[in-house]
Structure 1
Amino acid sequence: MKFERKLKKYALISLTDKNGVVELARALAGSRYQIISTGNTARVIRESGTDCIEMGEFTGFPEILGGRVKTLNPKVFGGILSRRDNPSDLAEMENHDLGSIDVVAVNLYDFSGAASDENATVDQLIEKIDIGGVSLIRAAAKNHKYVTLLTSPSQYPEFLERLEKNELDEGYRAHLAVEGFKLTAQYDTLISSTLEARITGESTTLTVFEPERRVLRYGENPHQKGYFHGDFSAYFEQLTGKELSYNNILDLSAACELVGELKGHACAIIKHNNPCGAATGDGPLEAYTKALSCDPVSAFGGVVVFNSEIDAVAAEKLNEIFLELVVAPSFTEEAVEVLSKKKQRRVLLQRRPLDHKFVVRNAAGGYLVQER
């Protein structure tokens, strides 16, 4: 029996986000992996026609405490953490009749969704803190020399291609391990900052975690490297023009914040992080005309932001000088066509207002933080 178990390849699948799980499980089974799964994930896999072993069946111990304890078992973590080339580990695995778990696909309870609900109680938030999932990720990431870790459906296509070609090499596994550690770091950061604010009413630790990175052409000056971290597309959609620069994004942010302080139809023009003009009017055309009159020379090559729709008439006025960026919550089709005549022009649709709660700046070996 022990010899038979040593020949088996195990894959553990325990998912909150079940997108792509059917295809993943089918491919693993086709590659002769025995699939171990939990609760609803196991049900989805079985209903798709792929066999799997329920976690309690694999460990010989049922889920307990209303599902709080599912995977925290030596048969699971021994199978993940064993070093396949370590004689002592192999002897213990054989002595305890453990099988090696070579693939771990797991994602976490949606604490972020719960934290975004201002009415959620601390007790409700606590129930959204994943314990087993985080432990599985850290174990698989730690032992990536032998274990492949998947933490997002976006990773499945490349994994399935590599699985078919038998190319699950250590370099690939190391990359996935880093993604796993980044995920748990972000998860724990969100939990600690949210609970501190809810329990004490304060946020005493500055934590910034924006894993999505965009490489910019350069920083403020051509000799500096520049990056943008965050979800830019949640706030803006670029309709025309080339890639934004570091300075474009700085000016864009400043102009959006300034317009957000004004009432009615408003416009702000910013260049190199300095205001060239800001005004309100009966419509966007009047607001822009008044803002431009403040300093029409400095406005050349600047960023202009509106808080109302731009039509073709306003677009024709904007085309009278060179402006790097034109930003508004909406544009008519004719306006986009007019603005696109300037080849170096970028046109951005602002999806929603900027909603950062704090302003953070480097200063004196640390950071200055103030409420917005």
Structure 2
Amino acid sequence: MKRRALISVYDKTNIVSFAKALIKHDFEIISTGGTYSVLKEAGIKVIPVMQVTDSKEILNGRVKTLHPAIHGGILAVRNDDHHMAQLNEESIHPIDLVCVNLYPFSETVNKESTSFNEAIEQIDIGGPTLLRAAAKNHKYVTVITDTNDYQSVITELNQCGETTPDTRRRLATTVFFHTADYDSKIASYLNQEEFPETITLSYKRKQILRYGENPHQKAALYSDSHINNTLILRTKQLHGKDLSYNNIKDANTASDIINEYSAPTVVALKHMNPCGIGSAKTIYDAWIKAYDGDQISIFGGIIATNQVIDHQTAIEMGKLFLELIIAPGFTEEALQLLKKRKNTRLLELIDERKDEQCFNITTVTDGLLMQEQDQKKVNLNQLEIPTKKKPCNEEFEQLLFAWKAVKHVKSNAIVIAKDSQTIGIGAGQMNRVGAAEIALRQAGDKCRGAVLASDGFFPMPDTVELAVKYGISSIIQPGGSIRDQDSIDACNKHGISMVLTKTRHFKH
């Protein structure tokens, strides 16, 4: 009895050459619909599924392979005498290879013009059923859903006359991951709950990394297969070694920060915290501000800009070691100059980031925490100025600059800013005064006339008292403490202004 292969694919890449190779190995081919027509037109002898099932397609093609003559042939356990006797009794021919790929549901729903009914019609039923049946019975059946696996199957047939058990198991595993991904996309599309009872996360591996946070930890990068605007998909690497685990985390954070600013801005980042942010009329001047913000910490750091990097800026950047530079582009002169830095990775942003609502997912022991990303912008109508002194226009502009920065600093966080430049940053401290001491001490004499931003409220007036000693002229903080008035009174006592945002930005 000849071996039989069922081929029914939406993506017909290389399907003719694959079918011809199977015939050389004495397979007979059965097929459906468009695949049948393509193979027939290529001169391949192919049996229509209707001839096997003795049933015509119904419901506009919704039902064609859902039949015992097909699934019995796939699912029969070959060394089970009862199974084989039933096949013989029903005149069912075993099916030894199933090659199926699915309707492009994800591609369809990603088109803005797609209607709900059009999306529903792209939910494949017969395809996943065939794949799962063949994958379940992979001890006897070879199942293929990825066009990239055609050649490895043919190579094994050439070498061994059949596929090996290990290969069949690998291909079956691919199928179950694929159908799980497919169903998760459908569930995500249909879901109307913000936090559904059950979630299925689907990620596609982009690359295996050299190691994780430390050399003894293994790591890999996966991208969300439901979202097409993650950092790694929005960039093109122009130069340097592959990104490391830490590079990717830092680059993602730097990208989030730079997205806050519209003026030409440079963000310098180290260990998930900004160490310098500068905005100016030109990207060169923005770089100088970011560099001067912390000339020590920037060494070996990550740089992100929202403007094309020109030759003049590249000359300055090239004077120190930087792990990674992300920009919307580089002039040719700048690119050639920076490429001389062998260990500096260059990433070009190739797709504008969309401000669609996404979720942060963090693992905990035996579970996940899930929350909306903190994309909240300053609401000018929500701001409150409770102090007698009001910030002048320049101070108000600097307060907003600092507020955008402190949002991305690990809590407890304090940012000191002046002239659209961070001059002191206190990150990740156990108390707010400790964070303020670090930031103010770093800024030093530059504090006079500068502004201070805090990611959380002041439970006591001690942060205000400390800021006054350094010459801070205005403060922005969320407010909301039962002792807000103590801090307001301290500001009034020393003649400085305070703005309350009514929004906090803790970042743990």
After TM superposition, is the score higher than 0.5?
Answer: yes
**1:225-264 matched pairs, under 5 angstroms:** 225-230=218-223, 234-264=233-263
Letter in 2 for 1:359: N
Worse-matched range after superposition: 293-302 or 213-222: 213-222
8 Å contact 1:280–1:287 — kept in the other structure?
A: yes
CA distance in 2: counterparts of 1:303 and 1:112, whole angstroms: 34
The percent of aligned pairs where both chains have the same amino acid is: 40
User: Structure with the greater relative contact order (CA < 8 A, sep ≥ 6): 1 or 2?
Assistant: 1
CA distance in 2: counterparts of 1:94 and 1:68, whole angstroms: 28
Letter in 1 for 2:331: T
8 Å contact 2:240–2:345 — kept in the other structure?
A: yes
- TM-fit CA distance, 1:93: 0.9
8 Å contact 1:8–1:99 — kept in the other structure?
A: no
Deviation string 1:103-151 (CA, Å, 9 cap, x unpaired) is: 1110111110222234533322211111000000100100001111110
Letter in 2 for 1:260: N
Q: Which position in structure 1 is the counterpart of 2:58?
A: 64
CA distance in 2: counterparts of 1:120 and 1:160, whole angstroms: 38
Q: Which position in structure 2 is the counterpart of 1:273?
A: 272
- TM-fit CA distance, 1:57: 1.5
CA distance in 2: counterparts of 1:85 and 1:253, whole angstroms: 53
Q: Which position in structure 1 is the counterpart of 2:359?
A: 358
Quick one: which of 133, 157, 161 aligns to 1:139? Answer: 133
Q: Which position in structure 2 is the counterpart of 1:4?
A: none
- TM-fit CA distance, 1:332: 2.4
8 Å contact 1:260–1:353 — kept in the other structure?
A: no
Q: Which runs of 4+ in 1 moved over 6 A?
A: none
Extract unaligned runs of 5+ from structure 2: 225-230, 376-508
Q: Which position in structure 2 is the counterpart of 1:282?
A: 281
Does residue 223 in structure 1 map to residue 208 in structure 2? Answer: no
CA distance in 2: counterparts of 1:172 and 1:61, whole angstroms: 34
**1:1-372 matched pairs, under 5 angstroms:** 7-165=1-159, 166-197=161-192, 202-204=194-196, 205-230=198-223, 234-355=233-354, 357-362=358-363, 365-371=367-373, 372=375
Deviation string 1:224-256 (CA, Å, 9 cap, x unpaired) is: 222211177532222221121111001100011
- TM-fit CA distance, 1:167: 4.7
CA distance in 2: counterparts of 1:253 and 1:240, whole angstroms: 18
| Alpha-carbon distance change, 255 to 155 in structure 1, aligned in 2, over 3 angstroms | same
TM-score, length-scaled by structure 1: 0.93
- TM-fit CA distance, 1:51: 1.2
8 Å contact 2:359–2:370 — kept in the other structure?
A: no
Deviation string 1:280-316 (CA, Å, 9 cap, x unpaired) is: 2223222211111211211110000122222222211
Deviation string 1:55-107 (CA, Å, 9 cap, x unpaired) is: 11221111100010011010110111111111111111111111111111101
Which of these two proteins has the greater Rg computed from alpha carbons?
Answer: 2
Letter in 1 for 2:361: V
CA distance in 2: counterparts of 1:91 and 1:167, whole angstroms: 24
CA distance in 1: counterparts of 2:348 and 2:38, whole angstroms: 40
Deviation string 1:239-278 (CA, Å, 9 cap, x unpaired) is: 2211211110011000111111110322211111010122
Extract unaligned runs of 5+ from structure 1: 1-6
Letter in 2 for 1:342: R
- TM-fit CA distance, 1:162: 1.6
8 Å contact 2:66–2:126 — kept in the other structure?
A: yes
8 Å contact 2:361–2:368 — kept in the other structure?
A: no
SS of the residue corresponding to residue 111 of structure 2 reads coil
- TM-fit CA distance, 1:37: 0.6
8 Å contact 1:10–1:101 — kept in the other structure?
A: yes
CA distance in 1: counterparts of 2:195 and 2:34, whole angstroms: 36
CA distance in 2: counterparts of 1:121 and 1:240, whole angstroms: 42
8 Å contact 1:256–1:354 — kept in the other structure?
A: no
8 Å contact 1:122–1:195 — kept in the other structure?
A: no
Letter in 1 for 2:369: Y
Worse-matched range after superposition: 28-37 or 174-183: 28-37
Worse-matched range after superposition: 150-159 or 234-243: 234-243
- TM-fit CA distance, 1:363: 5.1
8 Å contact 1:326–1:347 — kept in the other structure?
A: yes
Letter in 1 for 2:116: V
SS of the residue corresponding to residue 182 of structure 2 reads helix
SS of the residue corresponding to residue 101 of structure 1 reads coil
CA distance in 2: counterparts of 1:140 and 1:337, whole angstroms: 53
SS of the residue corresponding to residue 263 of structure 1 reads coil
8 Å contact 1:302–1:323 — kept in the other structure?
A: yes
| Alpha-carbon distance change, 127 to 369 in structure 1, aligned in 2, over 3 angstroms | same
- TM-fit CA distance, 1:175: 0.1
CA distance in 1: counterparts of 2:173 and 2:240, whole angstroms: 34
CA distance in 1: counterparts of 2:47 and 2:207, whole angstroms: 41
SS of the residue corresponding to residue 361 of structure 2 reads strand
Letter in 2 for 1:140: A
Aligned alpha-carbon RMSD (Å): 1.8
CA distance in 2: counterparts of 1:264 and 1:9, whole angstroms: 67
CA distance in 1: counterparts of 2:165 and 2:37, whole angstroms: 32
- TM-fit CA distance, 1:344: 1.5
CA distance in 1: counterparts of 2:147 and 2:56, whole angstroms: 28
Task: Count the aligned residue pairs.
Answer: 363
